[in-house]
């Protein structure tokens, strides 16, 4: 099992990444929609107040302003809750941002049901499906705060087109070794195994690793892959794992339709068909509750993932 250096919110890693990139590049500017600390942008806003613009609760306008700034040699970073960025401003992101292929980095906070007490209105469970279908858009879903920091810096410094970064609010295990290279578009093998493959994204990577430990005690070797990039998807590792393990399970804090599971299913159905099980929200809105309780209820805890995996193996 990987070492947890302590729980830390992925929103904090995002904020640290923005700040680090901004210190080295004066072209980085920030845009907020009446929220800063809750999406990790307070670190940047406090140090560079002259480069941070809070435009109020007007997400559609924020995207338009970000596009204008991108057209004038700036690198705008716009962050708000993912439900508002991906859904409320979808038209502006599609037409103004993606159609013009501009370098704007969007931080989608409060992703998944692990947001907890804020409930269904603030728990983004559809954003991957919406963002990954847009031409020119890169979609990132880091597993912990360290990876969020690293990938945010990469999104700002290395990308030249629209980027959507999905992250959460609650502190989660921070276990990424920052000395191990992270590459956008290249998933990372986290745990070896030949009986089946668990492909997880975001906060679910830690749960998948814990599930693999439970399965190991039962004699099941579960390969675990951290799919931190949803688009462009690492098809090679999916096809290779399908060939070597013969079964694949995907795990995500997202609707079962259109998210990571849907993306993996597209690859498998066309290139290497094998039995697939998608673990996620079953066409259901979230609800208020403690994060751990919600993960347990909807089958996204390590124990529930291990149980689903066992049933999957038996049924196949």
pLDDT tens, position by position, 171-214: 999 999 988 899 999 999 999 999 999 999 999 999 999 999 99
When pLDDT is averaged across residues 208-224 and rounded to a whole number, the result is: 97
Are residues 244 and 193 in contact, defined by beta-carbon separation less than 8 angstroms? Answer: no
* 133: helix, strand or coil: coil
User: Distance between CA atoms of 114 and 34, rounded to whole angstroms?
Assistant: 22
Instruction: Write out the two tokens for 151.
Output: 């990938």
pLDDT at 3 > cutoff 90: no
The string of pLDDT tens digits covering residues 51-84 is 999 999 999 999 999 999 999 999 999 999 999 9
HSE-up of residue 44 (Cα within 13 Å, Cβ side): 36
* 90: helix, strand or coil: helix
Instruction: Write out the two tokens for 164.
Output: 């959507």
When pLDDT is averaged across residues 249-273 and rounded to a whole number, the result is: 98
Q: What is the DSSP string of 204-231?
A: HHHHHHHHHHHHHHTT--EEEEE--EEE
Q: Burial, 55: exposed, middle or buried (Cβ in 10 Å; 0-12, 13-18, 19+)?
A: middle
pLDDT at 105 > cutoff 80: yes
- pTM: predicted TM-score of the whole model, two decimal places: 0.96
pLDDT at 1 > cutoff 80: no
pLDDT at 41 > cutoff 80: yes
pLDDT at 6 > cutoff 90: yes
- Please give the domain boundaries of the chain with CATH numbers for all domains: 7-173 (3.40.50.970), 188-315 (3.40.50.920)
* Dihedral class, residue 270 (left if φ above 0, else alpha if ψ from -120 to 50, else beta): alpha
Q: What is the DSSP string of 23-90?
A: HH-TTEEEEESS-SGGGTTHHHHHH-GGGEEE--S-HHHHHHHHHHHHTTT-EEEEEEEHHIIIIITH
User: Distance between CA atoms of 269 and 275, rounded to whole angstroms?
Assistant: 10
Question: What pLDDT does residue 180 have?
Answer: 86
* Maximum pairwise Cα distance, the chain: 60
């Amino acid at each position: 099992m990987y070492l947890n250096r302590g729980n830390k919110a992925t929103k904090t890693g995002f904020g640290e990444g923005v700040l680090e990139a901004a210190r080295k590049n004066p072209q980085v500017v920030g845009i907020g929609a009446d929220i800063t600390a809750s999406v990790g942008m307070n670190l940047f806003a406090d140090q560079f107040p002259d480069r941070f613009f809070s435009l109020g609760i007007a997400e559609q306008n924020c995207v338009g302003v970000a596009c204008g700034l991108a057209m004038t040699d700036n690198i705008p970073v716009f962050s708000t809750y993912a439900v508002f960025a991906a859904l409320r401003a979808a038209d502006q992101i599609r037409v103004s941002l993606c159609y013009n292929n501009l370098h704007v980095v969007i931080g989608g906070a409060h992703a998944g049901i692990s947001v907890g007490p804020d409930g269904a209105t603030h728990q983004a469970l559809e954003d991957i499906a919406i963002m990954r279908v847009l031409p020119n858009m890169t979609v990132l879903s880091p597993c912990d705060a360290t990876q969020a920091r690293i990938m945010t810096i990469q999104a700002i410094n290395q990308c030249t087109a629209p980027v959507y970064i999905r992250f959460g609010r609650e502190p989660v295990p921070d276990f990424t070794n920052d000395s191990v290279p992270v590459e956008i578009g290249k998933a990372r093998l986290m745990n070896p195994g030949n009986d089946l493959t668990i492909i997880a994204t975001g906060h679910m990577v830690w749960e998948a690793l814990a599930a693999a430990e439970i399965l190991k005690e039962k004699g099941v070797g579960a390969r675990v892959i951290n799919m931190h990039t949803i688009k462009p998807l690492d098809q090679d590792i999916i096809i290779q794992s399908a060939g070597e393990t013969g079964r694949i399970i995907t795990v995500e804090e997202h609707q079962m339709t259109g998210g990571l599971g849907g993306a993996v299913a597209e690859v498998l159905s066309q290139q290497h068909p094998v039995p697939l099980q998608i673990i996620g929200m079953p066409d259901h809105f979230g609800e208020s509750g403690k994060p751990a309780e919600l993960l347990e209820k909807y089958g996204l805890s390590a124990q529930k993932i291990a149980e689903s995996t066992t049933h999957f193996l038996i049924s196949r």
